[in-house]
Structure 1
Amino acid sequence: MEINYVIVGLVGLAVLILLIWLIRRNRKDRKNLERKLNLSDLEPEKHRDEEI
């Protein structure tokens, strides 16, 4: 049984590209979450008229 190094290389490259894409997306999502949490801490809570 022969190992086809071209296919192994393509699969390895695809896995590497997937990992890089997932890491970049995770960083972007983390930044967005931090920004949303910081904004929610800075903005005062809004009260509805019904509660007054």
Structure 2
Amino acid sequence: MNYLVIGTVSVLVLILIIFLIMRNLKDKKQFEEEVIDSELPAEKSEKEND
């Protein structure tokens, strides 16, 4: 077996996994902010009608 190829592929897979986890956390934070922002105007409109 060629351990250099196996090691290189392993490192690349590890880098890909770390990248995907970081991107997922960033997207999750952005999604939560969008949901909060989209709910705030609706609540203000409901309070004005009361």
Task: Give distance in 1, aligned partners of 2:3 and 2:28.
Answer: 37
Aligned residue pairs, count: 43
Gaps in structure 1 of 5+ consecutive residues: 46-52
Moved over 4 A (4+): none
Q: CA RMSD in A?
A: 1.3
- Kindly name which structure, 1 or 2, has the bigger radius of gyration based on alpha carbons: 1
Please name the residue that 1:49 is paired with: none
Identity %: 47
Please name the residue that 2:7 is paired with: 9
Check if 1:39 corresponds to 2:37: yes
Gaps in structure 2 of 5+ consecutive residues: 44-50
More helix by share: 2
